[in-house]
Amino acid sequence: MIKKLFLIALISLSFTPVNATTTSSSLLFTPIQQTPKAAYQDQHLLLFGVEGPGVVEIYSIIGNKIKEIKVQELANFKSYLELDSGNMYIIRVTVSNQVHTLKLVAH
């Protein structure tokens, strides 16, 4: 009997309802910035989460620059690029005075 009462008390404490109210002045719009991502598919380098003009640099894992691409719009970036399958590469994207460094494994 004591175990049942303890279980009921535990359940009622675990599911305590909370009343929440919102007003129009408490709702604020905060833009969410996407985290840049890179993908390599069908011998094409794809970038997601960046917009505007910028520079895309591709480096081998030991730091050798493979290619540099100046782009007017990064929103739908797709570029043909031959990379060795199984190797890791560093993609450096510079846009609006921000530098994003991404790792990529070619498959």
Give tens-digit pLDDT for 77-95. Answer: 999 999 999 999 999 999 9
How many Cβ atoms from other residues are within 10 Å of residue 47's Cβ?
Answer: 23
pTM comes to 0.68
**pLDDT one digit per residue (tens) for the chain, 107 residues:** 555 444 444 444 444 444 545 555 555 655 555 789 999 999 999 999 999 999 999 999 999 999 999 999 999 899 999 999 999 999 999 998 899 999 999 98
**What distance in Å separates the CA atoms of residue 37 and residue 17, rounded to the nearest whole number?**
40
Element (H, E) at 30: none
Helix boundaries (H) for 2-46:
2-14
What is the 8-class DSSP label of residue 50? -
> Is residue 74 within 8 Å of residue 53, measured between CB atoms?
yes
What is the rounded distance in angstroms from the CA atom of residue 13 to the CA atom of residue 103?
A: 47
CATH class of 35-107: mainly beta
